[in-house]
Amino acid sequence: MLVAGRYRLVSPIGRGGMGEVWRAADEVLGRAVAVKLLLGDQADASATARFRLEAQTAARLSHPHLVAVFDFGAWEDRFFLVMELVEGQSLGDLLAAQERVHPEQVARIAGEAAAGLAAAHRQGIVHRDIKPGNLMLDADGSVKIGDFGIAQFVDDPSTALTTAGHIVGTSLYLAPERALGRTADSASDMYSLGCVIYQLLLGKPPFTSDTATATLYQHVDTPPVPLRQRGVDISAAFDAYLLGLLAKKPEERPTAQQVSDWFRTDAWRGRAEPLPAPKPASRRAPSPTRSTAPARVSPAAAPPAPAGPSTYRLPQPTGRRRSTASRSAPARRRSTREAIRRRPRVASAIAGTATFLAAVYLGMVLFSPDSSSADTPSPTPSGPASQGVQDGQGGQDGQDGGDDRSGGQGEQDHGRPDSHEREDDERDD
């Protein structure tokens, strides 16, 4: 079968409620491609316009984790989309082969899928149909996200559900805001990715029910059970981050770029995230007690001195500086050291002075005459009388007179004639 006179369908790859995918050969360029034939009516002008717009937008995307879109059009009243052929399996096939996926592989898948979504979100494209069947693993195990733009006009809230008891489309991975009929945005893709990660680790999505409607109610109202409580061996950091992806409010979910960056580190293992590179220290205005800026030490620009005593800091070795304030720093350091060396000598001098004053005061108290002798003026001996006292004559006369007072008086009586006799002898000479 030749589609649009160019793409020869070789073998079916898969079939779903929205269409079928074929392996095909591009007979013009001679390469293998994937052709998806969509269910729809070409007469629906609005559907055709939306499909064309989304196909053109997806064709502009180029990223290692996005399936490239090559062509689109209509053939025999059916839409078709030509995409990059991914030789591998989908995550749906992986889950069918093994119930649970190892956390190491899940972390790699999550990081690569988030990186692809981040590239689409930067272009203003919302996938709207993130599920295991749309996440492919190539031969090297790398993630490829496919089917961009299809969910926008096929997976509509009015057509996502069929009769009761049947789950079709993306109800297992539908964000709460979409279940409420609101417009999908990039946060809706992140919620769907969180549901896929949850299923890879546990083997089933976070919310399941007998009907699609009941499942949608759980997306809106029921909080997800942490995986560690369900026996999944992951770190507490991984568990908490996944619950953040499944937040009910879109603004509380991390962005695709944040998720990609987070899984590229070892944070999901429970280890600390690498610290960001330190920012260069900003130069702040120096405090008034420091004189580092020349503008602050100049008289014209100096602020008024604060009231009260100033405080100073001991100078620190900060290297050579050319400001006026820094040239005075050595003098202040020398004066500070000299003041510190003089402190013991000053203290000794003060202590000696205090001791001397105390001794003088004590001597005055001990050797001053008492109050009884202060009233009687003491006799002032003359020179010869004093000489006599020094020679012990006063003591001799005192013994003859009977007491010290009479002896002293007798010395004075005998001393006066002696002085007159000497004066007479001098006159005779």
Do 120 and 61 form a contact (C-beta atoms < 8 A)? yes
355 contact partners, CB below 8 Å, separation of at least 6? none
- Of 248, 256, 253, 242, nearest to 216 by C-alpha is 248
Residue position matching structure tokens 């000053």: 346
Q: Among residues 26, 71, 129, 404, which one is catalytic?
A: 129
Q: Is 129 a catalytic residue?
A: yes
- Please spell the DSSP secondary structure of 135-157, one letter per residue: EEE-TTS-EEE--TTHHHHHS-T
CA–CA separation, 363 and 347 (whole Å): 25
**Packed helices 103-122 and 186-202: angle between N→C axes, nearest 10 degrees:** 170
Tokens encoding 309: 């005593």
Torsion sign, CA atoms 39, 42, 44, 50: positive
Torsion sign, CA atoms 122, 124, 129, 133: negative
CA–CA separation, 219 and 195 (whole Å): 10
Tokens encoding 419: 């002085």
How many C-beta neighbours within 10 Å does residue 323 have? 16
- Please spell the DSSP secondary structure of 21-86, one letter per residue: EEEEEETTTTEEEEEEEEPS-TT-HHHHHHHHHHHHHHHT---TTB--EEEEEEETTEEEEEEE--
Do 91 and 132 form a contact (C-beta atoms < 8 A)? yes
Indicate which residues carry an active-site annotation: 129
